[in-house]
Amino acid sequence: MEQIGRYQIVGELGRGAMGVVFRALDPSIGREVAIKTIRLAEFSDAEQRVKQRERLFREARSAGILSHPSIITIYDMAEQEDTAYIAMEFVAGCSLEQLLASRAPLPPERIFNILRETAAGLDYAHHKGIIHRDIKPANIILSESGAAKIADFGIAKISAADQLTQTGLIVGTPNYMAPEQVQGKAVGGPADQYSLTVLAYEMLTGDKPFVAEQLTTLVYQIVCELPPPAQRLNPTLGAQIETVLQKGLSKQPEQRYETCSAFVDALEAACAATPGWKSLARGASLNLPTMGEMPAAPAPKVEPPATAEVTAPTVRTLRLPRVRLEQVNKKSRAVPILMTLVVLAATGAAVYYASQPIGPVASVPEPKKQEPAEAVGQAASRPAEPVETPSASSGEAAAPVASAPVTASTRIQTSVEVPVRSEPPGATVTLDDLPGTACVTPCVLKASMGDHTIALNLQGYRTTIRPIKVKDGAVDLPILTLAPATGILMLQSQPEGATITVDDRKWPKQTPTQISLAPGSYRITVEKGDLKATQNVEIRDGDFKHLSISLSQQ
């Protein structure tokens, strides 16, 4: 059996940027542990490698003093063949990242249980002088009982402390990092609180505050731009929730809450005071109408005249009225008789002024029995009677035209070509969820200027939703890589060390192990000696299932 130090490796739990995480057994006391390896050999510079090793050991020893129910305990630290490793508490369960990837909205009690327990662990560590620096969904482990535990204390500080390489670039994706951290400044507890707020924002809205293709753009957004209002992504969130999130995401550390627990308390109180709020699943906000697509507020009413009666001016000072279409009440319908009166009045005025010198564009003399100006606008709004705009000689600009409802045809009338490519190709692409815009990659969509959303669907792959901004000229999108639809099966057997057959295919590893499977039904068979057992399992996209099989004599 493979070993690292004195620990016997029984399976692989996952892989990260710095190494592999194994499930192992400490034979001296029979305790299961998780072994996280850090490849010091990845650092080509010998001096840098020595510094990394020293810092890693120092931080691991510091984190080893932490003893809290919400923090995964570190047991041991050693080095073997240019690979440092840390033995820590093993937690059977899944990470918050895996839970969010299931694309199911989290119930309020689950959200606040995760936030409350994470905040308690962070506040405890901060009181001990330890800053995590890498709070993100992958580092929050959820046990089978639902308890939240923070992972990677002692490792996170190392990997985060050297985020700046010799070329000055940040390693990894700093979506959850505080502004002071991405700038390389000294960080304290408020940096972890910022990261915790990003977690809360994501669990409530289904998206992170800042997302960008380029790392430099992302860093600029974190440092310089205000986070998008959470209500824009999830309209059920009220102003009080918005206020708490914005405070937790303040650019200046001193403007955030005093502790992580204070932030969670404020958020929970704000949610309790907001009836009807609900969380969104990851990615669900992209399917909601954007602010530009939300129902428009009622148009401002045309101000009535200052007096009840409108006195017509004398003939010599009359001016033709310019009908401003944006003031038209679209919901009203003009009475045919009234429209006739208006047309006759305009015709009479035109005949009279035909013999007069052409000056500034005049308005129609009103009949003795003056109708309200609003009615004139209503009559002019009928599509059967188009209104002529003032002539160019008037020196006045044409009145703006009220916008029509956006449809698939109107979007394409003034359009820009948007080439869409996917890997693999053959995905069906739609623009703004309009069936008439569909094409199959590689293909070209036509989109009007402004913000849009494209969706790519391909059998066996997860739906990919991508917001795009169309400006002047062609839009050059990168190739969009589709993620295969998959679920995770954590397979255990009693006794352990059994061979695995998935349907009719032998699995290369023995139990316990983690198996990635496409959605579908599977027949899982485990065998050890003359012991054997078979069980069926259904896997859905985003699943993280645990299956324990007891072997028996066949």
369: nearest Cα among 441, 323, 310 = 310
Beta bridge partners of 398: none
Joined tokens for residue 271: 């949610």
Active-site annotation holds for 76 = no
* Sequence-distant (≥ 6) Cβ neighbours of residue 138 within 8 angstroms: 95, 96, 97
Torsion sign, CA atoms 508, 511, 517, 522: positive
CA distance 210 to 179: 12
Burial of 36 (0-12, 13-18, 19+ CB in 10 A): buried
Q: Which of 26, 134, 192, 541 is catalytic?
A: 134
CA distance 71 to 86: 15
Do residues 492 and 514 lie in contact, with contact meaning Cβ atoms separated by under 8 Å? no
Helices (H) and strands (E) in the chain, counts: 13, 25
* Sequence-distant (≥ 6) Cβ neighbours of residue 64 within 8 angstroms: 74, 75, 77, 154
CB atoms within 10 A of CB 377: 21
Do residues 390 and 381 lie in contact, with contact meaning Cβ atoms separated by under 8 Å? no
Joined tokens for residue 459: 């059998």
CA distance 270 to 277: 10
**By three-state DSSP, how is residue 129 classified?**
coil
Torsions phi, psi of 173, nearest 5? -110, 110
CA geometry: angle at 113 spanning 135 and 138, to 5°? 30
14: nearest Cα among 94, 117, 100 = 94
434: nearest Cα among 235, 280, 293, 232 = 293
Do residues 210 and 225 lie in contact, with contact meaning Cβ atoms separated by under 8 Å? yes
Tokens 């998959």 belong to residue? 486
Which one-letter amino acid corresponds to residue 133?
A: R
* Sequence-distant (≥ 6) Cβ neighbours of residue 287 within 8 angstroms: 433, 465
Percentages helix, strand, coil for the chain, rounded to the nearest 5? 30, 25, 45
CA distance 376 to 497: 86
CA distance 295 to 292: 8
Strand ranges across the sheet with 83-89: 3-4, 7-15, 20-26, 31-39, 83-89, 74-80
Catalytic residues: 134
